[in-house]
Chain A
Amino acid sequence: QQQVKQSPQSLIVQKGGISIINCAYENTAFDYFPWYQQFPGKGPALLIAIRPDVSEKKEGRFTISFNKSAKQFSLHIMDSQPGDSATYFCAVTPLDSNYQLIWGAGTKLIIKP
């Protein structure tokens, strides 16, 4: 069973700080690395995604850093705000699939005012 290991399980950051969530995968045959954001009482929603041909992607305060050789990718939230408090999931899609998502266990992020 292919796995994605996500850490930490929970994270508390002061407002204005940088939140960092990490994911590691075991197989190199993946070609899509998304991060989903889930607020309480809602379904997950795509936040940002990256393909393996780039090492970094930035959208506003959110950045994915991708290290192909280490088989790791991380989500950085700059200037973290209380409204960013949510559960974050990383996922990967196998190279031979355009529908499957293999999910990390999730990180509950709390931004303290």
Chain B
Amino acid sequence: EAQVTQNPRYLITVTGKKLTVTCSQNMNHEYMSWYRQDPGLGLRQIYYSMNVEVTDKGDVPEGYKVSRKEKRNFPLILESPSPNQTSLYFCASKKDSKGTSAYYNEQFFGPGTRLTVL
């Protein structure tokens, strides 16, 4: 089954304790991205990656790190989490193609990771 998986799904941690949220896709997609979702703010992009070893900042990158050593994996790292990083996090992927179809830019999302930082 084509999918994006994230782990863990739920995480409660304390301020300053480093954590990693994993993301993996089995669709051979070039592009991967991390978003955070907060009530009333929609989805905000944290980091994205156009391909292996290529990453770039999104709209809200402060306090986060990413790496893309393999095409299928795109972990999100919080070196020193703070309470304002309490949020719902989504990983997404898409095939990097500029087609004529209205669906060329479809992004496939993982199930989400609910993070609470105390």
A113 nearest CB across to chain B (Å): 26
Task: List the count of A-B residue pairs having beta carbons below 8 Å apart.
Answer: 64
A105 contacts which chain B residues (CB < 8 A)? 40-42
Which of B43, B44, B106, B111 is A41 in contact with, Cβ under 8 Å?
Answer: B111
A43 contacts which chain B residues (CB < 8 A)? 4, 90, 92, 109-112
B40 touches A99 (CB 8 A): no
Which of B41, B105, B109 is A98 in contact with, Cβ under 8 Å?
Answer: B105
The number of chain B residues with a CB under 8 A from chain A is: 29
Q: How far is the CA of A93 from the CA of B33 in the complex (A)?
A: 15
A46 touches B42 (CB 8 A): no
For A42-83 the 0/1 string (1 means CB < 8 A from B) is: 111110011100000100000000000000000000000000
A49 touches B112 (CB 8 A): no
- The contact sample of 8 A-B pairs, CB cut-off 8 A, is A6-B42, A34-B103, A41-B111, A43-B111, A46-B103, A98-B98, A99-B50, A105-B41
| A25 interface residue (CB < 8 Å to B) | no
